[in-house]
Amino acid sequence: MNTDIKLLFWHLLCALLVIVCCSRCTDIVQSVDNALVCNKDEINAANLISVEEAHVLIANKKILILEVSKEAEYLKGHIPNALNVWRPEFRAKEGYEYGGMRCTYKELVALLQRLGMSSDAELLLYDAKGGSDAMRFAWVLDYYNFKNYQVINGGKKLWAQKGFALSKEPVTPVANSEFTFSPKINKDILADSGEVLSAITDSETVIIDTRESYEYLGQCFVSKGELYEHKKGAFARGCIPSAVHLNWSQLVDLDDDHRIKCHKDLAHDLAERGITKDKHIIVYCQSGSRSSHTAFVLSKVLGYPNVKNYDGSWIEWSYLKGLYDELLKEDSSTVSKLINKFGITEHTSQKEFEAEYARLETELIQKKKLPIE
């Protein structure tokens, strides 16, 4: 009898241990699953709005909607009542020997007046490229302390995926010459060339190149059947010395809904490159547009406290490098000292560059010789 009771006891104990172990295993599996899940719905920030929220907002408030895109893209279909604006409209019209710089306060007010902005309306921005164009305009607004705007996370891509209506009818703005706002220059979000120059040797600052890898590496490339040494507008190939490469698009889901990636994916991509909150961050691209997106994600989504966008970006930097090279020929000791620090890193050697350029040039020539079917 005692033996039977002991046997029963051990059976029950074993069964209990199995149940406990299974329960723990389930908890562990669940924890692993949770760690692997990437939830983009968790992303929220000041001046960022979901497409669902935007849809409700448009129906219930006075909104000025702007699609930041080329006209051809806008005419393919846009959010109903949206106006079209493109990057040249919020760039400086004069004052620089190169392009791409932010517009002045007066130019911004004139643009908003032409678009029909009013003091009781809210500005709603979106684009069709994952947010880089809309956030470039947003960065200009932030610089002049214009706060009454939202950017649609996911833009036109997600708007269409959700089944919301698009219109192909162009909308003509009704100008409002009375509109104005009081500017307050936000220098905390702007880096100039002098600051970038100092950052090159500063271990507490990370300079991030947000361009495509071929731009960062200083490689030639083919676009629309034409061969280029570097992108139009720039004056040389290469990158700013000490810059780490993080393509702006790595922070957004361009393969799906164009929303900003989840915190887990963002943290992984940034940690790999040593881009941490304790560092001062300077971002740049070709003309400050793509880098505006990265600056938005770092500062507003992730809460990095010290993030600046180098507005002049590669266009200005490559221009200044060429300018100082010319001044150096005058044998000025002051310029000589400066040029020793001011430079360009070419990850692709001139020999490699020339070989690849010749190969691509040959390929293009052969393609152009092929008969048209």
Quote the pLDDT of residue 17. 63
Q: Any idea where the domains of the chain sit in the sequence?
A: 48-184, 189-339
Quote the pLDDT of residue 65. 98
Task: Confirm whether 48-184 and 189-339 share one CATH topology.
Answer: yes
Strands across the sheet containing 307-310? 190-191, 307-310, 280-284, 205-209, 244-245
DSSP state of 264: H
Quote the pLDDT of residue 192. 95
Rounded to two decimals, the pTM is: 0.85
- The yes/no answer on whether domain 189-339 falls in CATH 3.10.310.10 is no
CATH fold of 48-184: Oxidized Rhodanese; domain 1 (3.40.250)
Quote the pLDDT of residue 363. 87
What is the β-pairing status of strands 221-223 and 226-228? antiparallel
Quote the pLDDT of residue 32. 39
Quote the pLDDT of residue 9. 57
Quote the pLDDT of residue 128. 98
Quote the pLDDT of residue 10. 60
Structure tokens at 136: 């470039």
Give burial (CB, 10 Å; 0-12/13-18/19+) of 119: exposed
Quote the pLDDT of residue 321. 84
Cα 219 versus chain centre, distance: 21
Residues of the chain scoring pLDDT < 50: 1, 25-35, 334-340, 372-373
Inter-CA distances, 256 with 246, 252, 302, Å:
20, 9, 22
Strand stretches in the chain, DSSP E: 48-49, 63-68, 83-85, 122-126, 149-152, 190-191, 205-209, 221-223, 226-228, 244-245, 280-284, 307-310
Inter-CA distances, 367 with 161, 224, 371, Å:
37, 13, 9
